[in-house]
Chain A
Amino acid sequence: MKEILAAGGYVTVNTLGSGFNTPNGVAIDGNDNVFVADTYNNSVKEIIAAGGYTTVNTLADGFFLPTAVAVDGNGDVFVADTFNNAVKEIQAGQAALAASVLPDSRSVQLGKPATIFATMINSGTSNLSGCQVSLPALPPSGLTLNYQTTNPTTNAVTGTPNTPVTIIGNNGSQSFVLGFTGTQAVTAPGLPLNFNCMSGNVFVEAPVFSGVDTVDLFMSATPVADVIALAATATNDGTVHISGGSGSFAVASDNIGAPAVITATIDYNGAALPVSATTCQSNPMTGGCLASPASTVSIGNFATGTTPTFAVYLTATGAIPFHPANSRVYFRFFDSTGTERGATSVAITTD
């Protein structure tokens, strides 16, 4: 199987996967996975994008010289089963995998690892094996990722580094610590991570949800601020349930990097939501504002090891359905160069 890269003007040709015998048909899904009608092997195969198009799984066989495939948005695969004179559908299963990370923004000096915690949840009914975490197919240059399972109560590492694990079904979960290291400067806001498992010989991956299982990752030659931020909502479910047009949440922060001038801002990650927001630095004991709420808050010297808290007040001007992947409020910390040095987010809804 071959890929002709658009970048560079359709000159570079890469080979994807191996083991095919006269493949005649190809299709791509929205996660860049490649489906192949492997004609003389009488099978339909999937080349997994995660890990660089090296893993090839057989989705189904029993075909008679299949020559073409197509895939829809649900992952259903359609097959021209040519010498059986039939059109067939390989139906998507019900396995489901989700992932989240915490914190979702780190800024470090090169040579120092950036670590975050992650959790994978198996909400399908069957156990999933081979569960692992990896960088996307085209990671930032020089960036590597190591992962290891942890005890979610103590955060102590368990098991063996970079070893896939099994996650049991019916909302079984596994926590991990992820360590990023770089050999050159990295500017990767919204870096998607691959959280994937196997269900038998079927590949399962968590959908990418910005602010939930992506990480804003920055590495630079000089020491920089690295603000760890956590949002807390009244219902402690990561969601602000706006009632009567207004709602609020609190943000706790800790600069574990270099001191810096920091401005905290609020955004919606590009979504057009009927909501406005103001914020203030708050008294950590009372939660009350230290100054009048405004659209941003500046901290003249966010010193290392200090832990300012913030209050965020939301005013909704329309209905916001519960959609935690899209309806989110992001609280971000920027240094004087305009580079993000920390972030957290909450889902919002008027439901």
Chain B
Amino acid sequence: MKRTAGLFGTLTLIGGLALSPAARAQTVVTLGSGFSYPQGIAVDGKGNVFAADGGNGAVKEIMPAHNPVSITTLAGAFAFTLPQGIAVDGNGNVFVGDTQGQAVYEILAAGGYATVKTLGSGFSYPYGVAVDGSGDVFVADTLNSAVKEIIAAGGYTVVNTIGSGFSYPTGVAVDGRGNVFVADAGK
């Protein structure tokens, strides 16, 4: 194993790779304006950002690629009470945790974000939401001190409690293997 020439052959190969930026620097930019206590945020594969604009009772889509940044309100005819959690799936459907409305909603991408469906039931201050590749929706059910999964199969009526020992869970995320990450503000 003294074949350094071979090693450098490999090095040259690496030099030809298109490297993805892996670092995160501390440049912070503000996207748009007009928000009032935004408490939920999500981003889709195209770089469109979705915000739960709680103080305005609105769900908004921000398109940072536009110059100036473009902001549109989704399902503007629907009366959200206090949307605080938001997630987006691979098809662009947007999921909303409406805490004071005690409900989890889906805003359908089909038809231009006009149709709102209620998913599951029995939540108390559902805050953070996340969605996996199967369409199952995870909910930080804050005042029930629980994390729940709303099963897509069967039309989002079955709600399962997952894990235990939470105090005041408010944020939830899910990875590609189905592992669920929880921000528990009470601990």
Contact = CB atoms under 8 A, between A and B. Distances in A.
Contacts of A171: 15
Given A97-B22, A324-B16, A121 B11 contact: yes
A202 B22 CA distance: 10
A32 B177 CA distance: 10
A206 interface: yes
B31 A89 contact: yes
Contact of A3 (B22, B47, B182, B185): B182
Interface string B46-68: 01010110110000001010000
Interface residues on A, range: 35 or more
A157 B86 CA distance: 51
A236 B9 contact: yes
A67 B170 contact: yes
B11 A75 contact: no
Contacts of B187: 2
Nearest to B88: A70
Contacts of A46: 24
Interface residues of B, number: 81
Given A85-B38, A324-B13, A60 B23 contact: no
A25 B162 CA distance: 18
A90 B35 contact: no
B185 A22 contact: yes
Contacts of A255: none
Contacts of B159: none
Interface string B19-37: 1111111111111110111
A285 interface: no
Nearest to A155: B2
- Which DSSP category, helix, strand, loop or mixed, fits chain A's interface? strand
A87 B179 contact: no
A36 interface: yes
Given A11-B163, A203-B23, A325-B17, A68 B171 contact: yes
Given A67-B39, A90-B28, A212-B14, A153 B185 contact: no
Interface in B145-187: 147, 149, 160, 162-166, 169-185, 187
Interface string A206-248: 1101001000000000000000101011001111000000000
Contact of A87 (B32, B163, B185): B32
B22 A28 contact: no
Contacts of A271: none
B41 A87 contact: yes
B19 A123 contact: yes
Given A100-B13, A236-B9, A68 B40 contact: yes
B180 A3 contact: yes
Given A10-B149, A155-B1, A78 B41 contact: yes
A232 B6 contact: yes
B179 A25 contact: no
Contacts of A59: 24, 26
Contact of A119 (B7, B54, B55, B164): B7
B45 interface: yes
Given A2-B163, A89-B64, A237-B13, A202 B28 contact: no
A80 to B, nearest CB: 4
A104 B21 CA distance: 25
Given A11-B163, A13-B165, A86 B38 contact: yes
B94 interface: no
A24 B31 contact: no
A260 interface: no
Given A100-B11, A204-B23, A238-B12, A16 B181 contact: yes
B21 A34 contact: no
A237 B9 contact: yes
Contacts of B28: 60, 62, 79, 88-91
A24 B40 CA distance: 10
A171 B16 CA distance: 12
A236 to B, nearest CB: 6
Interface of A: 1-6, 10-13, 16, 22-28, 30, 32, 34, 36-37, 39, 46, 59-60, 62, 67-83, 85-100, 102-103, 115, 117, 119, 121, 123-124, 152-153, 155, 171, 173, 175, 199-200, 202-207, 209, 212, 228, 230, 232-233, 236-239, 322, 324-325, 347
- List 8 tightest A-B contacts by C-beta distance, closest first: A93-B25, A6-B178, A95-B23, A238-B13, A10-B162, A4-B163, A96-B19, A204-B23
19 contacts: A2-B182, A3-B182, A23-B185, A24-B171, A37-B171, A39-B185, A80-B40, A85-B35, A88-B30, A90-B24, A92-B21, A96-B22, A97-B22, A98-B19, A102-B7, A121-B14, A228-B1, A233-B9, A237-B12
Given A3-B179, A10-B149, A73-B45, 18 more contacts: A1-B181, A1-B183, A12-B163, A27-B173, A36-B183, A67-B84, A68-B40, A75-B23, A79-B41, A86-B31, A93-B21, A119-B10, A121-B14, A155-B4, A175-B7, A203-B23, A212-B10, A238-B10
